[in-house]
Structure 1
Amino acid sequence: MALTLALAVNELGTNSVKYGALSNDVGTVEITWSLRPGAEGRGRELVWTWVERGGPPVSPPSRRGFGRFLIERVLAADFEGTVKLEYASAGLVCALVAPAPEDRAS
């Protein structure tokens, strides 16, 4: 799980430096995580977010590359959760919601 998250953070960071909030001197990235009660009493959930602000306007990419596949599919599968990429005009938002490690099915 740690390796997959590290790869996703590297991909998000690289893209942010090239095209997003970190491509200028005023943009920022905020990374947060928390544990919350799971839906329907299913233990706790890990909520991890990457939020960019202050960069150029964002629009969805025209194609799905390997980095997007890694973030949306591999990260979600490894954490047994869901990943949502939101191309908000203010900046990219990536959110992972998954069972807390001690509450995972496997």
Structure 2
Amino acid sequence: GGKIPIRWTAPEAIAYRKFSSASDAWSYGIVMWEVMSYGERPYWEMSNQDVILSIEEGYRLPAPMGCPASLHQLMLHCWQKERNHRPKFSDIVSFLDKLIRNPSTLHTLVEDVLV
């Protein structure tokens, strides 16, 4: 097997090589964070080992500056420890579609995020 990109990979994929649409949702949340932070490196200068330990202890990346709470909430949903608690891509698409169709809801949808 090849190397795993630790910063973008779900905990179960790192620990057990269990890759699924749920681990893809985790990665999607990280990429979304990168986009909203204008290309910052996820977990900044932390070592891969520190990233793994921090995530296990419950740490999640904070909202990038200026990132609407509803989008950070979506990221946090993607980063749920239990993979079956993460959103399905159909739910992510539906949520983002609502935002695109009605941008004024960007700041009010926090409660509606993939409940």
* Structure with more helix by fraction: 2
TM-score surpassing 0.5?
A: no
Bigger strand share: 1
